[in-house]
Amino acid sequence: MLARIVAAGWRVMGLGYTGDRTGEYDRAALAAAVADYDGAQASAGALRIGAPLSASPYLDVYRWDDTYPQGQPGLGASVDQYRNRTSAEGRPGAT
């Protein structure tokens, strides 16, 4: 489950980075990667609900330390950065 979350998240980031560099986003591939990420997160959420005492398969924070006592935003924040790029309106500089 964790591997699915991470793999889909990295696909989103790779496609997003490519779009950032070229100015052209592969919206279909990006939408599919975001959907895969969301599906993997939903599966992890279902596990947490169904087995609340189980160890968390994935906590979406980068790290905890004195600088980030609540945890620095993790992979989900990166996916959210590109989530709006899956539609025709989601262009760099669009509001």
3-state per-residue secondary structure call for the chain: CHHHHHHHHHHHHHHHHHHHHHCCCCHHHHHHHHHHHHHHHHHHHHHHHHCCCCCCCCCCECCCCCCCCCCCECHHHHHHHHHHHHCCCCCCCCC
Is residue 58 assigned to a domain? yes
Is residue 91 assigned to a domain? no
Residue-range definition of the domain harbouring residue 6: 2-84
Predicted local confidence at residue 89, as pLDDT: 53
pTM higher than 0.75 for the full model?
no
Is residue 75 assigned to a domain? yes
- Number of domains composing the chain: 1
Is residue 92 assigned to a domain? no
Predicted local confidence at residue 47, as pLDDT: 75
Most confident by average pLDDT, 20-24, 48-52, 76-80, 91-95: 20-24
- More reliable by pLDDT, 75 or 16: 16
Is residue 94 assigned to a domain? no
Residue 67 to residue 92: CA distance in whole angstroms:
31
Residue 4 in this model has a pLDDT that exceeds 70: yes
